[in-house]
Structure 1
Amino acid sequence: MDRRARPVTGRRSPGSWPRPHRGRTPSARRRRRVLVAVLPLLALGLGACGGGGESGGPTELNWYNFPDDSGALQKAADDCGRGSDGRYSITYHKLPRAADGQRQQLVRRLSAQDSSLDILGLDVTWPAEFAEAGWIRPWTGQNREQAVRGTLETSVQTATWEGKLFAVPYNANTQLLWYRDDLVRKPPTTWAEMTDMAAALAEQGKPHFAEIQGAQYEGLTVWFNSLVESAGGSIMTPDGLRPSLGPPAVRAAGVMRDFARSPAADPSLTNQMEDQNRLAMESGTAAFEINYPFVYPSMKANNPKLFPHFRWAPYPRVDANRPSRPTIGGIDLAISSYSRHADLAFEAALCLRNRQNQLTAALKGGLPPTLRDLYTDKALAKDYPFAREVLGALETASVRPKTPAYQNVSIVISHTLSPPADIEPVSAVDEIRAEINDALQSEGLIP
């Protein structure tokens, strides 16, 4: 599953990021941000401190990452510790299941300069924010060379901020179109084709919904970003200083509205996230779903009768003559600026994302690798038959807006475009543009 689901709750609060201060020194920016972040955290009880090494045993490195039910992450931690010749061990700490909770815990502890954090599993949208705040170390020299060698370029982009690498890509993620070949002989190539096929199935009284993430959270932002990029545009300028948008964004908003008003839309679209999409497909009520590769092993386990008809195809295009550009997801491993064992942490992070550990994560948990040549590995082919399509999607994938204010940008988008059926494309894009500008300058209110 893409580890980004961030349900938006609560009342509006002021934007947390000021306009980027290119003239202010990094240390001044860092002092300001750390002061703001630490004030409400004076009473925060920090977790157990990292230890090891003092009594001659291995140095304990603390790895914080998303909770993994497959056992792949724990195996990687154990194997890397055993392979270190007694120099270090890795303790895998499970962050909260929701991405909001993951980020909150890391931000609080890094703001308080907690030295017990060593290796951090960051959602691909966080490296810019954490780097700008001074919470993570850049990857340089030999460490950087090893981190980028053989790694997918789009994954490297997610871990890069202002020309510097701040993390090593651990796993990638991207969406495919999943469909039932007992209902559809040939998968649709565009969003318009998919809604037409769904309408035809509905007229025949057959399962016809096309599941997509329509709830008011990060998934809605990803949907919009994928459509904008597929239409030839972008949400932000490459430098992350201002919104781009334009006609491609209007086109994307129109596709979302038209889909939401069509027979293809699940009646519960506005409550749908990745897992609800998966369950709808497994229950037999849907003909299509836009989702991540985790749905494949889930379908195999939960509905073996339907599984033989569960197929995959590239993400739908906005225009037939322009390739789709689904949004890349995944996790990047960063090293805390406050780690007391940074050299060992860099070495351990490289081990955690090595070839064998990425292969295990793909086979056990469905997580797409970031090492390109794994996609042609025979060991992956049997249980990952869609590897070619995933690789194709990742090689042309789009990256979400790269800015330290991404959290605010995402909230603006998901609030403005919810519910999708009520979108007025031109006015919605105008509102998104204005609110992003305000968010980048710490003006106005963030939903």
Structure 2
Amino acid sequence: MIRLLPVLLAVTLAAGCSAAGDEGGGETGTGGTGPITFATGRDTTAYLQPLLDRWNQAHPAEKVTLLELPEAADEQRAQIAANLQAQSSRYDVIGLDVVWTAEFAENGWIIPLERGLFPLDRFLPPVVETAVYKNKLWAVPYTSNAGLLYYRTDLVKKPPRTWAELRDQARQITKKHNIGGYAGQFLAYEGLTVNFSEAVQSAGGQLVSRDGTEVTFDPAKGEIALDFLFQGLREEWIPKESLSFKEEESRLAFQEGRLAFARNWPHAYGPAKAELGRKLGVTRLPGLDGPGSSTLGGINLGVSAFSKNQHTAQQFIRYFTSLENERRVLTEGSFPPVWTELYDDPALIKRFPYLPVLKESILAAKPRPVSANYNQLSLVIASSVAKALGTPSTESADDVAASIKSELEEIIRTQ
């Protein structure tokens, strides 16, 4: 594969030079070639550097340097935002959580990109939508994400499709084997917003309209979602230690045998498979009356408005999101790729049996609101739910749900 790289890059560059403009109109930053810095979340799989090395070997005058940001999305955003607010040119290519598109575009922190430079028609459609704001392409999908339910096949005969089935199985396993039944990401951060959003969606509700202009949250649906979590904590099949869990804590608890079920992103599959082998099972998240709805996640790649080498940055993104590199994203990083055809590849399905379930989950997932004030919305949800879960005996689910609706409406009114 390495020997084919110069040919691939030559085709890439030629295609980029003849690409059509962005259908949304507006200027694009195309000038500047030279060394660039790629700022993204910490790589826990060690697969990124070899991909960067291949680029650097073919582009000695346009080398890319990896700058690893904190693991948590909230901390990444804070660091990136501080850099861009200062109009620093330190970052060129930026790994952006899919929920940041509107905020970064609205603030002028990233540049619009030419659609014709990238094979968007071969990407999963819901994933492409996360990179578009006001009819312009502001980033390129790099990885997708949808929450999955991991379970122990040696403890679970048939994976649950509903919350009631999950509760019954988790309670029995907790009592019989003295381990935790189920956990997600319940610390007060973006992960809790995601988990609560998924619970609301899986109960048939929605928090905010797709365009972020209207609060569509039905407190009755929110009460159902909260009761599911409250009940688990009261009955102790959701262990209280999970109130401090982020992704890594829940992953470790599951693969170390301390949980029978765990909600997590697909990147947890590789380490869990290595630890548990045939004891690992993966299915869609359960819901109130059947399979639930995940929150659509993932990372898109944007170009800093303050980069001095924006042409190189765009060509690097085109290389980095190519079909062969996206294959490596899956095979070497255990992250969900964005190319649709990879989910239907028999060889990949044999190696990663969860791919059909993951594709189904991504296509059925719901994106978070497209809002320049998304960070405020998320903070309200995470802090309110965390407070309620930490003190379930003093706050009722209906009071918490009503409070969340009121605070969300206040944010939407003032944006």
Bin for the TM-score computed over the shorter chain: 0.7 to 0.9
3-state DSSP of counterpart to 2:377: helix
The TM-score with structure 1 as length reference comes to 0.80
Q: Which moved more, 1:352-361 or 1:259-268?
A: 259-268
> Does the alignment pair 1:403 with 2:377?
no
* Offset, 1:141: 4.4
Query: What's 1:292 paired with?
Result: 265
Judging changes above 3 Å, is the alpha-carbon distance between structure 1 residues 286 and 101 closer, same or farther for their aligned structure 2 residues? closer
> Equivalents in 2 of 1:203, 1:121: separation in Å?
43
> Does the alignment pair 1:62 with 2:34?
no
3-state DSSP of counterpart to 1:375: helix
> Does the alignment pair 1:383 with 2:351?
yes
Amino acid of the structure 2 residue aligned with 1:280: A
Query: What's 1:338 paired with?
Result: 306
Contact 1:64 1:93 in 2 (8 A): yes
Query: What's 1:354 paired with?
Result: 322
Match of 1:104 among 70, 75, 78: 78
Query: What's 1:226 paired with?
Result: 198
* Offset, 1:66: 1.2
Contact 1:170 1:330 in 2 (8 A): yes
Q: Which moved more, 1:74-83 or 1:167-176?
A: 74-83
Residue by residue over 1:259-304, the C-alpha shift from the partner in whole angstroms, topping out at 9 and shown as x without a partner, is: 3323321131211222221222222222111112222221244x3x
* Offset, 1:239: 2.3
The TM-score with structure 2 as length reference comes to 0.85
Query: What's 1:157 paired with?
Result: 129
Query: What's 2:140 paired with?
Result: 168
3-state DSSP of counterpart to 1:126: helix
Query: What's 2:380 paired with?
Result: 412
Amino acid of the structure 1 residue aligned with 2:98: V
Query: What's 1:148 paired with?
Result: 120
Match of 2:65 among 82, 91, 94: 91
Judging changes above 3 Å, is the alpha-carbon distance between structure 1 residues 324 and 345 closer, same or farther for their aligned structure 2 residues? same
Query: What's 1:117 paired with?
Result: 91
* Offset, 1:151: 0.9
Task: List alignment gaps of at least 5 residues for structure 1.
Answer: 1-25, 27-51, 54-58
Contact 2:242 2:250 in 1 (8 A): no
> Equivalents in 2 of 1:278, 1:427: separation in Å?
32
> Equivalents in 1 of 2:115, 2:356: separation in Å?
32
Amino acid of the structure 1 residue aligned with 2:283: A
Residues paired across the two proteins, number: 380
Match of 1:238 among 190, 210, 215: 210
Residue by residue over 1:376-421, the C-alpha shift from the partner in whole angstroms, topping out at 9 and shown as x without a partner, is: 2245234322111111100111111221111111111111112426
Residue by residue over 1:25-64, the C-alpha shift from the partner in whole angstroms, topping out at 9 and shown as x without a partner, is: x9xxxxxxxxxxxxxxxxxxxxxxxxx96xxxxx212211
* Offset, 1:115: 2.6
Judging changes above 3 Å, is the alpha-carbon distance between structure 1 residues 135 and 153 closer, same or farther for their aligned structure 2 residues? same
Query: What's 1:127 paired with?
Result: 101
Query: What's 1:77 paired with?
Result: 52
Aligned ranges for residues 151-230 of structure 1 at < 5 Å? 151-230=123-202
* Offset, 1:307: 2.6
Residue by residue over 1:190-248, the C-alpha shift from the partner in whole angstroms, topping out at 9 and shown as x without a partner, is: 11111111222234345351121122221111111112222232111222123110133
Query: What's 1:311 paired with?
Result: 281
> Equivalents in 1 of 2:273, 2:112: separation in Å?
41
Amino acid of the structure 1 residue aligned with 2:37: N
* Offset, 1:157: 1.9
> Equivalents in 2 of 1:72, 1:109: separation in Å?
26
Query: What's 1:56 paired with?
Result: none
Across the aligned residues of Structure 1 and Structure 2, the Cα RMSD in angstroms comes to 2.2
Query: What's 1:5 paired with?
Result: none
> Equivalents in 2 of 1:142, 1:364: separation in Å?
28
> Equivalents in 1 of 2:370, 2:284: separation in Å?
25
Query: What's 2:8 paired with?
Result: none
Query: What's 1:38 paired with?
Result: none
Q: Which moved more, 1:428-437 or 1:388-397?
A: 428-437
* Offset, 1:164: 1.9
Match of 1:326 among 294, 300, 319: 294
What is the identity percentage for the equivalent residue pairs of Structure 1 and Structure 2?
Answer: 32
> Equivalents in 1 of 2:74, 2:192: separation in Å?
15
3-state DSSP of counterpart to 2:299: strand
Task: List alignment gaps of at least 5 residues for structure 2.
Answer: 1-25, 27-31
Query: What's 2:5 paired with?
Result: none
3-state DSSP of counterpart to 2:239: coil
Match of 2:231 among 258, 279, 297: 258
Contact 2:211 2:369 in 1 (8 A): no
> Equivalents in 2 of 1:147, 1:92: separation in Å?
25
Match of 2:110 among 136, 147, 154: 136
3-state DSSP of counterpart to 2:368: coil
3-state DSSP of counterpart to 1:149: helix
Query: What's 2:337 paired with?
Result: 369
Contact 2:146 2:362 in 1 (8 A): yes
* Offset, 1:442: 5.2
Contact 2:349 2:356 in 1 (8 A): no
Judging changes above 3 Å, is the alpha-carbon distance between structure 1 residues 232 and 300 closer, same or farther for their aligned structure 2 residues? closer
Amino acid of the structure 2 residue aligned with 1:370: V
More helix by share: 2
